[in-house]
Amino acid sequence: MDKILVTGGAGYIGSHVVERLVYLKKNIFIIDNLSTGHKILINKKATFFFGDITKFNEVNDFILKNKISSIIHLAACLSVNESQKKPKKYFKNNVLGTKNLVKAAIINKVKNFIFSSTCAVYKDKLKVVNEKSKLLPKSIYGKTKLQGEKVIVNRLKGKDINFAILRYFNVAGASESGKVGQITNGDQLFKNLAKAVLKINPKINVYGNDYNTTDGTCVRDYIHVSDITKIHILALKSISRKNKSFILNCGYGKGISVIQAIREFERQIKKKILIKFKQRRKGDMEKIIADNKQIKKVLGWRVNKNSLKKIVRSTIKWEKIKQY
> Would you name the residues annotated as active-site residues?
141
Whole-number Å distance between alpha carbons of 29 and 165? 20
Cβ atoms of residues 77 and 8 within 8 Å: no
Whole-number Å distance between alpha carbons of 168 and 227? 11
In Å, the largest CA–CA distance within the chain is: 58
Which residue blocks in the chain are alpha helix, DSSP H? 12-23, 56-66, 80-85, 87-90, 97-107, 140-156, 189-197, 225-242, 258-269, 293-299, 308-321
Strands 162-168 and 246-250: parallel
Whole-number Å distance between alpha carbons of 27 and 128? 38
> Of 234, 237, 218, 217, nearest to 226 (Cα)?
234
